Structure 1
Amino acid sequence: MSRVIVSDHGQAREISLDAFCAETDHAAFSWIHADGWREDAQAVVSRCDRMPEAALSALLAQETRPRCTLMAHGALINLRGLGAQDDAVGDPLVSIRLWAEHARVISVSYRPLAAIEPVMQRMLAGTIQDPGDLIAAFAQEITEALDPEVAELGDTLDEIESSLSDSGAAEVRREASKIRATAISYRRFISPQRQALERLSAAEAPWLQPDDRLHLQEAADRCARMAEELEAVRERSALAHEELTDLRAEQMNRQALIISVVALVFLPLTFLTGLLGMNVDGIPFAHEAWAFWGVVGVCGVMAAGIAGWFAATHWLR
């Protein structure tokens, strides 16, 4: 659902979509947020005759990546952050598209972004009074929400690395693969988001105040740190996965060695019992009372001798 908030000298209020054209042109600052899946999103951007055609189409585009592009009298900013709902479909980070110009910001999102509601509350409280404040607030809310998520990936990987020798290697390997995939997905958007925020903080825009630039630069620095940490998590998870695979292969090799040793112990015994079990005349001591136990004793001595040889040559280690 589309929402419109206007602010006049620190006093903010929410108005209907039908009234925004009449009021926003006279308001000190207005923010219009539209749901991209609804028809009113097209109505919102179509009423903005001062917006370049390229910015209009970019606002309604479904596939985006973080960027900052200066156009005419405004700027197009795409950001990515955590979603307000757990959704297994689509990218793990939800996008928001913003067109910022003097006294007005228009934003469009196709999936609910977790940062939208806190930013709206801040604007209704009167702490956001211009486009620079709004974009800086989005950057701060997004990075503050992402920071603990990235830290949790590292903490989970620490637990995995400390439990590499545990018996549940298959589950740990799947968890390491999941962490690596999440780190790659996050870094794919966080790294260009840092560049977008840095470019916006250095942009020559009259609606960007010095404190806005500081907040944007701070958010960009946090994105840079998160991108570095995600890269480290990706490399560490890959190493942990390889170590788990090597551990699994070593266990399988050890089990195969034990099976081979047992087979080698019983191979001469099988040959001896098979030879004496032939139904032909002339087998020595075939009719003696002690013959069976004699064969058992010989087999036992042979098995002990072969096992002792394996132990002496360190095959069983």
Structure 2
Amino acid sequence: MERGVNREWAYVVEDAGKASAVPREEAVARHGHASLVWIHLNGRDSGSLEWLRDRCGIPYPAFLALTAVETRPRADFLDSGAIINLRGLGATPHDDPDTLVSIRLWAEAGFVISISYRTISAIEQVCEKTRAGRILDPGDLIVDLADAITARLDPEVAVLGDLIDDLEGHIGERAVAGARSRIAGVRSRSIDFRRFLQPQRDALERLSLTTAEWVTEEDRLHLREAANRAARMAEELEAVRERSALLHEQLTDLRTEQIDQRSLIVALIALIFLPLTFVTGLFGMNVEGIPIRSDGMAFWWIAIGSCVFGAALWLIVRWRRWI
């Protein structure tokens, strides 16, 4: 599959599981005569959007939902079909403003229209299974797409948890290079993921409860499993977000404690040397009348006295356990 957002296709799957790529018009004409007709459109192509509105035959509310600028995961039933929005990792991160990109679908018996504005990474896996004849109806297509999305998201969520574990193991060390920015990055990414995973779980659960004939009991079972995986990832992301917030607080407390310790050391050094500075300044005045000025040992008496006084102050500080 080519990287980018300009990929479109139309597959027709016969009852025997044989899939073939055909033009869009032929795919629409085969609707009702094949077990599955799947048409995928590029949302950035104005011609494809015009065809979707005028010649595809889907309800107008479904057209509005498929072409909405902002979307969130959902599953809503309309007449005999369903409007489904799912989110997954993008295949072109440099072109994706959101961490998770959307794919929008209109599904009914034997017919699926999907549209994306950016390439979702899981789509090629579903295309391969379709060409191999392993996807036979709309229920299979939705289940495999949901499974592929959650399977690719699971390792990403696990990596965030591992990063937090690593930061927690080193947060007490003095040198935690870039810890604050790393924590902020993990927290931001977990929030981005959870923002879509929670409603995606709800959408999959709603699909698993449908009584539509084109969704089999086995499909419902797989949809419930995908919903459970999405729920587990959402819970793990919430834990990552809370742990990253706690780590940020611990890092702030650690830096505050380090600053307090350094300030205390500076204050104690000043406590010791301030009296000594006064003594040396007093006896260093170039005026008449300074005691022991004529004594040849005066310098050594003052130096020894200063050392003894400084040592005494240091012992007092240690005795009081100020450091």
TM score, norm. by length of structure 2: 0.93
The 10-residue stretch of structure 1 (14-23 or 244-253) with the greater mean CA deviation from structure 2:
14-23
* 2:81 equivalent to 1:54: no
The 10-residue stretch of structure 1 (23-32 or 9-18) with the greater mean CA deviation from structure 2:
23-32
- Name the structure 2 match of 1:208: 215
Give 1:240's aligned amino acid: L
State the shift of 1:108 in Å. Answer: 0.9
The 10-residue stretch of structure 1 (238-247 or 185-194) with the greater mean CA deviation from structure 2:
238-247
1:178-232 CA distance string (max 9 Å, x none): 1111111111100110000001111221211111111111100111111111111
* 2:10 equivalent to 1:4: yes
- Name the structure 2 match of 1:99: 106
SS in 1 for 2:256: helix
State the shift of 1:164 in Å. Answer: 1.3
CA distance in 2, matches of 1:186, 1:165: 28
- Name the structure 2 match of 1:146: 153
State the shift of 1:276 in Å. Answer: 1.9
Is residue 32–residue 105 contact of structure 1 (8 Å, CA) maintained in 2? Answer: yes
2:90 to 83, 91, 99: 83
1:28-47 alignment runs, 5 A limit: 28-47=35-54
SS in 1 for 2:254: helix
Is residue 74–residue 86 contact of structure 2 (8 Å, CA) maintained in 1? Answer: yes
SS in 1 for 2:94: coil
The 10-residue stretch of structure 1 (268-277 or 191-200) with the greater mean CA deviation from structure 2:
268-277
SS in 2 for 1:113: coil
RMSD: 1.6
Give 2:322's aligned amino acid: W
- Name the structure 2 match of 1:168: 175
State the shift of 1:28 in Å. Answer: 2.9
* 2:24 equivalent to 1:17: yes
Give 2:240's aligned amino acid: V
Is residue 102–residue 118 contact of structure 2 (8 Å, CA) maintained in 1? Answer: yes
- Name the structure 2 match of 1:133: 140
Is residue 2–residue 33 contact of structure 1 (8 Å, CA) maintained in 2? Answer: yes
The 10-residue stretch of structure 1 (281-290 or 112-121) with the greater mean CA deviation from structure 2:
281-290
* 2:199 equivalent to 1:199: no
Give 2:201's aligned amino acid: R
1:244-284 CA distance string (max 9 Å, x none): 22112111211111111111111111111222222332111
For residues 204 and 212 of structure 1, do their structure 2 counterparts lie closer, same or farther at Cα, with a shift above 3 Å needed?
Answer: same
Gaps of 5+ in 2: 1-6
Give 1:174's aligned amino acid: S
For residues 129 and 40 of structure 1, do their structure 2 counterparts lie closer, same or farther at Cα, with a shift above 3 Å needed?
Answer: farther
State the shift of 1:40 in Å. Answer: 3.5
1:3-55 CA distance string (max 9 Å, x none): 11111111101123354334445433111111111224303412455322221
1:218 to 222, 225, 228: 225
SS in 1 for 2:193: helix
- Name the structure 1 match of 2:305: 298
SS in 1 for 2:105: strand
CA distance in 1, matches of 2:58, 2:25: 19
SS in 2 for 1:87: helix
2:249 to 242, 245, 249: 242
State the shift of 1:62 in Å. Answer: 2.6
For residues 194 and 48 of structure 1, do their structure 2 counterparts lie closer, same or farther at Cα, with a shift above 3 Å needed?
Answer: farther
CA distance in 2, matches of 1:117, 1:238: 37
Calculate percent identity across the aligned residue pairs. Answer: 48
Give 1:54's aligned amino acid: P
- Name the structure 1 match of 2:74: 67
1:163-188 CA distance string (max 9 Å, x none): 11223324123212211111111111
Is residue 28–residue 56 contact of structure 2 (8 Å, CA) maintained in 1? Answer: no
Give 2:74's aligned amino acid: R
CA distance in 2, matches of 1:88, 1:265: 62
Gaps of 5+ in 1: none
Give 2:220's aligned amino acid: R
Is residue 53–residue 60 contact of structure 2 (8 Å, CA) maintained in 1? Answer: no
Give 1:95's aligned amino acid: S
- Name the structure 2 match of 1:280: 287
1:315 to 301, 308, 322: 322
SS in 2 for 1:287: coil
Give the count of matched residue pairs: 316
The 10-residue stretch of structure 1 (2-11 or 53-62) with the greater mean CA deviation from structure 2:
53-62
